[in-house]
Structure 1
Amino acid sequence: MANPKRVWFPHASYHITSRGNRKADIFYDPSDRYYYLELLAQNKQSYPFHLHAYCLMTNHVHLLIETIDHPPGIFMKELHSKYAMYFNKKYDFVGHLFQGPYKAELQGDINAMLQVSRYIHLNPCRANIASSPEEYPWSSYPLYLSKRPPSTLITTSTLLSYFKDKEEYDSFVKLPIKTTSGHPEIG
């Protein structure tokens, strides 16, 4: 069965996720994550896009990407193909690293993007591997709070422009999540 055609237009924003095959780990050590980020930066140079948020978990990734002139399929296929070749060679594996093609959920507006950035940045906390999002080193969250100039990989200015300052964004991300009718809500 063919994969459904993704909706794309210039400046479309997507929450992209990809998981290891059979939920297996796709990162074994820090050098794997550094290499993934290096490949992501190379793809950003070849096929410009804005990376608004990311989180590299052990067995999956989250990316919040705004395209410019290229659909995400072009750079995601290249990114994951190169990373899978690196991983399989390094660990002497064969076969698929990722569980099928990546998933890309189109974000309708800035409110959706803000909620997804929050979701991405809280992922390590929900997985109980960090008590606060700034403690997790494989996420863009520390870059949102940094006093240093932003990295060339991540674009923080778009999302931060909806807040008075970085502290207000930090408060937004850390708002408690209430549950009503089994669905999370921000309160």
Structure 2
Amino acid sequence: MRKELPVIGDFVHVFNRGNRRMPIFYDEADRWRFLKILRYFNDEYSVDNIFRRVRLETKMGKCHPFERPKNWPSPKPLVKILSYTLMPNHFHLLLKEIIDGGISKFMRKFADGFTKYINTKYNEVGSLFQGPYKRVIIKTEKTLQYIDAYIQIFNIFELYPGGLEKAIEEFDKAFDFVLEYQFCSLGESFNRRKLNIINRDILGETFKTLQEYKEFVREAVVFHNIRKMIDKDIERA
């Protein structure tokens, strides 16, 4: 049975893991390259040796890291990236379809680019990921909010010293831990850092302050079984 394709306006939870559940990141530089690919590949504009050009512009003082060089054409994003998180052997993205086939094109560019980077750096061959990316089209605004919390918070709680149960027990400390974690979008969502990757869209209107979002997440994680809810969607993908 063919899976439903996203149409313009759909919000989509996208995720994938390493082939044979192996790591997809081996050092911090790999994680930063992943984020740079999210930043620079989300565009109809393509250029050879894109990161070499960005480095050159940065060294010349013409732009900052993660800033679009001023001599490039105006951006034409393929998708809106609402949130993301990087785990040792998998990733999650929350995307919005804004042009026909935008998510498909973006994920193809992203997977090809990151796989080429890893294979070249570590002298590997073959697929980095465990098959094509998985996707779940989100049907309600409440589900969108829960999936966003799952991506930005719940996953990183598993990295908290002592694990998920300890993070839930020490929610306030664990939330601050996530806020400082560089490889999820929470800090960017509330202007703690500027990487020019995300566009919060409707979620920015729903959660105007970090405290509002924190209290929503507390309810979702501590008082509701958010994992059970989201895992059902992941199993269907």
TM over 0.5: yes
- Helix, strand or coil at the partner of 2:15: strand
Encode CA deviations 1:136-185: one digit per residue, 9 max, x unaligned.
2100011223356x5421113521211353310122123343467x9469
- Helix, strand or coil at the partner of 1:62: strand
**More strand by proportion, 1 or 2?**
1
Encode CA deviations 1:96-130: one digit per residue, 9 max, x unaligned.
11000000100112211111110001201034468
User: How big is the shift at 1:4?
Assistant: 3.6
**Number of the residue aligned with 1:124:** 156
Q: How does 1:90-169 map to 2 (within 5 A)?
A: 90-122=121-153, 123-128=155-160, 131-132=174-175, 133-146=178-191, 151-169=195-213
How many pairs does the alignment contain?
A: 181
Aligned equivalents of 1:157, 1:42: Cα separation in 2: 19
Q: 1:183 to 1:62 in 2, by over 3 A?
A: closer
User: How big is the shift at 1:23?
Assistant: 0.7
Pick from 88, 91, 101: which aligns with 1:61? 91
- Helix, strand or coil at the partner of 2:206: coil
Identity among equivalent positions (%) equals 30
Show structure 2 runs of 5+ residues with no match.
45-76, 162-166, 168-173, 231-237
- Helix, strand or coil at the partner of 2:137: strand
AA aligned to 1:125 is F
User: How big is the shift at 1:78?
Assistant: 1.5
**Number of the residue aligned with 1:21:** 19
Q: 1:81 to 1:164 in 2, by over 3 A?
A: closer
Q: 1:137 to 1:41 in 2, by over 3 A?
A: same
Contact 2:189 / 2:198 at 8 angstroms: preserved in 1?
no
User: How big is the shift at 1:36?
Assistant: 1.3
Aligned equivalents of 1:86, 1:151: Cα separation in 2: 20
**More helix by proportion, 1 or 2?**
2
Q: 1:62 to 1:147 in 2, by over 3 A?
A: closer
Q: TM-score, normalised by structure 2?
A: 0.68
- Helix, strand or coil at the partner of 1:101: coil
CA RMSD of the aligned region, Å?
2.4
Q: 1:8 to 1:157 in 2, by over 3 A?
A: closer
Q: TM-score, normalised by structure 1?
A: 0.85
Show structure 1 runs of 5+ residues with no match.
none
